[in-house]
Structure formats: C-alpha cells, structure tokens
Amino acid sequence: MAAPPSLAAPGGGAPSEALVRAFWAESAATGAPWPSEPDLAVALGVSRPALRESLTRLEAEGLIRRRRGDATYVNAPAARIVTRFDQQARFELALEDAGLVAEAEHLFAEQVVLDDATCQQLGVPTGAPGLAIGKRWRADGRVVMVALDRIPLVRSDGGRLPLPDPLQTPVRLFPLMQALRPDPIEWEIATPGASRPSRQEAEWFEDASLEAVLTLDLLGVSRRGDVYYRNRELHRPGAVPFGFVRSIRH
C-alpha cells in the first residue's frame, strides 16, 4: 500500500484551503487512503468546521466523495483534467499547471457597434456601443487559444459607461470589468461547442491547416442578474485536456 501523503503544514504556516487541495492532489497522485476527518483536522491544524467547509467544496467539485460511516474516496482521475468547463480560472495558470510555458498576447482593442445578437444577449439597446478585445495564448510558443470579448459601454437602461483607453486595456478581463462596473461578476454561463475556424481565426492561430476549434461561449453575470460581457474562446483541439466532473447520485 502506498504511504499516506504528508500532513505537515509547510513551514509551520497557517493552514488554508489551498493546503487541503494540495493534500488532495498528493493523495490523488499516490493513491494513498484519505485520513479520517478528525485526523486530517489535527494534522493540518484547522478546526473541524473550517475543514468541513473545504471538504464540502471539494465534494461539490467531484474531487472526493464522502459517505456517513464510510471512508472518504478520492477521485484520482480528476487530477488529469487541466481545465474544467465548470470552473473559471486564468488560462495561463492552467497551461503552467500542465508544465507548459504560457504567454498571453494582445491582438486588438477597439470601440465597435455591437451586433443585434450580442445586444440581445447582453440585454442592452440595439446598436449599443461596445468594446471589442482580442487576445491569444501560446503554450511553448504555439498558439493554443484565442479569446474574443464583447463588452457593452452602456447599461441596460441605456446609460453610458466611460470608455477606457483601448490601448491601455489590460489583457485580463476582470480588472477591466472592475473599472467599468460597481457590481462584481458572480457567475459565468458557459456553452461549449465546436466550429471550423474562419480565415481570420486561422491567422490568429498561425495555422492555415487548422480544421476545427473547440469553442466556449461565456456570459458574465452580476449578482443583480445583469449580463456584463460576452466572451468567445477558441481552443486548439488536444492542446490542453478539458473536461468536467459529474457526480453520480445513488
């Protein structure tokens, strides 16, 4: 039987959920059994309530399964999924986690008139002004993802938002949204699909022979239910393992 993962907090520092997740990753890699909740709480130096909160989140993500009166089971194959459809994360971090050298590049940023379909998705008046931003990511020098953002510069009531300097628009979407909107983004609604890349999209990928891309259409939703942006991601197939975990209820 494999030896259990180390339970010592590194450097004697304050334990956190990151430490619990690191322990899960080590357990998934080694195949070691998961300790009892009391033993894990003592070893990590956390309270039982705090540990239960972390374990509840891990179980909701399909990483572990707990049953009353039984052991805690670790979903080891889930560790192979580098990027999950059901979670939002910076793509360059996912690439780095896969052992790749990640690089983000800015393609363009310009003010546009949003098309009717986008206005309907975003809940803004027809013909509303918006900001169009294009970015791409490289992994070990090869372009593996292109992201196209559409951000309205009006609110749902028609009130105008300040136009940021397109040349100063950051590559990351969320700092820009924080500058434009007082309410934070709470959810992303994701719709996966696939398509044949256009000539322009193939040029962004620097690959005229690219026959298909994995697509992910994202809508950013505030806590009030307003849709603040539309993002379309185009992914090179096979570049990064994508997936999600479905828990089977018995």
Q: Which residue has the higher pLDDT, 236 or 45?
A: 236
- What CATH fold (topology level) applies to the domain 10-80? Arc Repressor Mutant, subunit A (1.10.10)
Note whether 103 and 120 are within 8 A (CB). Answer: no
> Residue 15 pLDDT > 50, yes or no?
no
> Residue 14 pLDDT > 60, yes or no?
no
The whole-model pTM stands at: 0.77
Q: What is the pLDDT of residue 170?
A: 61
> Residue 122 pLDDT > 90, yes or no?
yes
Q: Which of 6-10, 34-38, 49-53, 83-87 has the lowest mean pLDDT?
A: 6-10
Q: Which of 87-96, 107-116, 139-148 has the lowest mean pLDDT?
A: 87-96
> Residue 2 pLDDT > 50, yes or no?
no
Q: What is the pLDDT of residue 175?
A: 84
Q: What is the pLDDT of residue 231?
A: 95
Return the domain boundaries, the chain: 10-80, 83-243
User: Which of 25, 19, 7, 17 lies closest to 64 in space, CA to CA?
Assistant: 25
Q: Do 10-80 and 83-243 come out as alike in CATH topology?
A: no
What are the CB-based long-range contacts (under 8 Å, 24+) for 164-170? 164/131, 166/109, 166/110, 166/111, 166/131, 167/109, 169/106, 169/109, 169/131, 169/133
- Cα–Cα distance between 47 and 30 in angstroms, integer? 26
> Residue 166 pLDDT > 90, yes or no?
no
CATH number 3.40.1410.10 given to 83-243: yes
